[in-house]
Amino acid sequence: MTALDQLFAKVRAENRAALIAYIPAGFPSQAGCHRVIEAFIAGGVDAIEIGYPYSDPVMDGPTIQAAAVTSLANGTGAAEVLAALKFASASVPAVVMTYWNPIERFGVAEFAKAIATNGGSGVITPDLTIEESAGWIKATKESSINPIYVVAPSTKHERLMQVTSKCGGFIYAASLMGVTGARASVSSSAAELVARVRKTSYLPVAVGLGVSTREQAKGVAAFADGVIVGSAFIKALQDAPSEEAGLLAVTELARELAKGVREGR
């Protein structure tokens, strides 16, 4: 059982959802990323998702794309991603979100082992299909980490059954068809998707894409096991006049979102 598995058992016993925060490794700087992680934890985040910056992020909107550009310019690679993961996992359950190419370049079995060695609970792979997952599933089992896949409102029932049967830790439910980004409201299709996923798996379901406020977090926490927030935190950092101000904004936003996930039920 990973730390992530233990977290979802804990929040389920507390009858609430988990708050999962996303930050790309190396953003806003190598040292700054670690300070953001500290701000997340100070604000009450339950788990952290470390992004592996990639040059062709098909799932990411302009906010996270801009952060990835900054991260890559800061020299972020596998070593920096793993260092951020290790730093985060010393305090809370942590996972890496990465496109498949960096895993393949690193070495499939080696990457899974490196995640485990650095305290990580699992990996989210948004562009890896089930049909191409045999080697990855084998590697995650050997390293005892969670393979986390993404499902969307367009995913058909038969496909949901196939994907969710391969997941571990939680199932990532994309709240809408599109890319990441903070929005004025969370798509109504999110609740419907979570209900459909629950018919195929007993695993926790975490919803991402669009959550940016306490009220939105509260709304999603009413039907999901986890609330994933990324773009809103990054935007708070990007809009701040200084890194210090950005860190304060991140902590305050995390506190508000943490209240929201506890108010959902």
Q: What is the domain partition of the chain in residue ranges?
A: 3-263
pLDDT digits (tens, 9 = 90+) for 41-62: 999 999 999 999 987 766 677 8
Cβ atoms of 50 and 90 closer than 8 Å: no
User: Looking at the domain 3-263, which fold is it?
Assistant: TIM Barrel (3.20.20)
Nearest to residue 217, comparing CAs of 159, 257, 167, 169?
Answer: 257
Q: Indicate the pLDDT class of residue 221, thresholds 50, 70 and 90.
A: very high
* Residue 23 confidence (pLDDT) above 80: yes
For residues 199 and 191, give the distance between their C-alpha atoms in angstroms, rounded to a whole number. 13
Look at residue 180 and tell me whether its pLDDT is greater than 80. Answer: no
With CA atoms as reference, report the closest residue to 47 among 83, 17, 82: 17
Average pLDDT over residues 243-258: 97
Which pTM does this prediction carry?
0.94
Mean pLDDT is lowest, of 1-15, 163-177, 180-194, for 180-194
* Cα dihedral across residues 36, 42, 45, 47: positive or negative: positive
Predicted pLDDT of residue 195: 96
Cα separation, 122 vs 170, whole angstroms: 10
- Angle, alpha carbons 44-203-78 (nearest 5°): 60
| Average of per-residue pLDDT values in the chain | 93
Where residue 185 falls among pLDDT bands split at 50, 70, 90? very low
pLDDT in the model for residue 45: 98
Model pLDDT, residue 189:
82
Q: Which of 186 and 161 is assigned the larger pLDDT?
A: 161
pLDDT in tens, 28-41: 999 999 999 999 99
Task: State how beta strands 146-148 and 122-124 pair.
Answer: parallel
Chain-centroid distance, C-alpha 20: 6
- The radius of gyration computed from the CA coordinates of the chain, to the nearest angstrom, equals 17
pLDDT of residue 183: 41
Which positions are annotated as active-site residues?
A: 49, 60
